[in-house]
């Protein structure tokens, strides 16, 4: 795999620093501290210094294109098994697909129905350290486990009625499940509202979850005119990013320069923070949003309603984060907006102990599904709106 090495530096776990290369460039400094049992990784403001070694991921295989043997329809998640096989939630079918090291289909789990091992809707998939696979079906409000021997077990997550739009972040069969809720579907006649979601913890013994925290999510603008009403996401507004494995969850707010890693008990384990001021949204950017939104609006909408939608107030600053990932191997990935270029996003990576790893360059428009060891799986849609999963190599070669 090709590596772009601008300059070299030594990094250690407690205090890591890359000295100036003599050209006047600022030093990148990483400090790992302990605060009442919580690991705090302080990056400062020189994030570019952490991209001194940036890996360009090389394709291993792709699925989803014609002839690949896999047709993808509403992919709802993915993750790597310990042996390197990739597990994909193909929600629109619905089924779970397991791909081998070169993209060959090694197994398909489940089909449509209400019996054991069947799904109405696959919301998330959770590969386990023992090689089993746990799947959540929000349509039926239940968790399904496929053992190594493909024995099937199911359990309801809530009783007597399911919790609508539940999104598990971390899930295991007999252990805890941590989840958030999806979009709030409450409407109001006008104005702006920011949704919040609880972080819910489920135990194997109970269908009644504990609330472990509450987080701000999406902001909506509501418009009602002449008997018609609509809502839309507030332009440039904050969002909540989540990711997890069987042992931890990662939570970050898009407009704040901090990433938090929690244990499955909801306790804070690690904080990664840096110094960054969000970039202000310019009037030109807002006008560009208005132009794009106008193209999306139906011509059948009343003119007064169209004008009200296009005059939606906007959030005044851009996000400082474009995405996060907690790998199956415990590595923490996040993509600061300040490191993005016109063609790519730069993802910073850290070990669980706070030690920096080489950054990774990925194209814009990809959704990072999973990472483990020297591989990362990403989802993208082509110009025909076909879903494609690419597995990329981050190793030598």
Q: Is the pLDDT of residue 15 over 80?
A: no
The DSSP annotation for 3-63 comes to EEES------SSEEEE---SSSPPPEEEEEEEETTEEEEE--S-GGGGGSEEEE-EEEEEE
Q: Tokens representing 333?
A: 């990935």
Element (H, E) at 245: none
CA count, 13 A, side-chain hemisphere, 57: 26
The DSSP annotation for 115-177 comes to STTEES---EEEE-TTS-EEEEETTTTEEEEE-TT--EEEEESSSSS--TTEEEEEE-SSS-E
Indicate the range of 13-17, 161-165, 219-223, 307-311 predicted with least confidence.
13-17
Give pLDDT, residue 8: 25
- For residues 320-337, average pLDDT: 96
Give pLDDT, residue 299: 80
Q: Tokens representing 55?
A: 């890996």
Asked whether the beta carbons of 212 and 233 are under 8 A apart, the reply is no
* pLDDT band of 349, cuts 50, 70, 90: very high
> How are the residues of the chain apportioned to helix, strand and coil, as percentages rounded to the nearest 5?
10, 50, 45
* pLDDT band of 160, cuts 50, 70, 90: low
Q: If you average pLDDT over every residue of the chain, what do you get?
A: 88
Query: Which of 57, 99, 60 shows the shortest CA–CA distance to 80?
Result: 99
Q: Is the pLDDT of residue 246 over 60?
A: yes
CA distance 390 to 380: 8
Indicate the range of 44-48, 114-118, 280-284, 356-360 predicted with least confidence.
44-48
Asked whether the beta carbons of 285 and 235 are under 8 A apart, the reply is no
Query: pTM above 0.95?
Result: no
Q: What is the pLDDT of residues 64-104, one digit of tens each?
A: 998 888 999 999 999 999 999 999 999 999 999 999 999 99
């Amino acid at each position: 795999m090709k590596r772009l090495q601008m300059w070299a530096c030594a990094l250690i776990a407690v205090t890591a620093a890359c000295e100036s290369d003599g050209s006047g460039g600022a030093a990148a400094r990483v400090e790992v501290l302990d605060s009442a049992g919580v690991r705090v990784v302080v990056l400062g403001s020189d994030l570019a210094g952490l991209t001194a070694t940036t890996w360009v991921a090389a394709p291993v295989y792709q699925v989803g294109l014609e002839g690949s043997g896999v047709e993808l329809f509403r992919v709802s998640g993915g993750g790597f098994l310990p042996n390197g096989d990739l597990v994909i939630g193909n929600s629109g079918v619905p089924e779970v697909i397991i791909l081998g090291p070169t993209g060959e289909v090694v197994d398909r789990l489940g089909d449509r129905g209400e019996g054991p091992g069947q799904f109405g809707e696959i919301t998330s998939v959770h590969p386990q350290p023992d090689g089993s696979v746990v799947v959540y079906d929000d349509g039926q409000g239940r968790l399904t486990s496929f053992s190594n021997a493909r024995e099937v077990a199911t359990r309801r997550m809530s009783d007597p009625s399911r919790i609508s739009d539940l999104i598990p972040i971390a899930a295991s069969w007999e252990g805890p499940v941590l989840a958030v809720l999806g979009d709030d579907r409450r409407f109001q006649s006008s104005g702006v509202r920011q949704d919040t979601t609880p972080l819910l913890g489920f135990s194997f013994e109970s269908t009644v979850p504990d609330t472990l925290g509450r987080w701000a999510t999406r902001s909506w603008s509501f418009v009602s005119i002449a008997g018609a009403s609509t809502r839309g996401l507030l332009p440039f507004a904050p969002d909540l990013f989540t990711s997890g494995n069987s042992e931890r969850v990662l939570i970050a707010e898009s407009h704040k320069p901090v990433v938090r890693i929690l244990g499955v008990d909801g306790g804070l384990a690690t904080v990664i923070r840096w110094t960054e001021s969000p970039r202000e949204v310019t009037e030109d950017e807002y006008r560009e949003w208005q132009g794009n939104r106008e193209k999306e609006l139906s011509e059948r909408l009343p003119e007064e309603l169209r004008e009200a939608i296009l005059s939606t107030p906007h959030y005044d600053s851009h996000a400082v984060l474009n995405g996060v990932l907690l790998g199956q191997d415990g590595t923490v990935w996040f993509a600061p907006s300040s490191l993005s270029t016109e063609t790519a996003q730069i993802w910073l990576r850290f070990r669980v102990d706070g030690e920096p790893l080489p950054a990774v360059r990925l194209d814009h428009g990809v959704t990072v599904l999973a990472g483990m060891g020297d591989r990362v799986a990403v989802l993208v849609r082509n110009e025909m709106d076909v879903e494609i999963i690419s597995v990329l190599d981050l190793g030598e070669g």
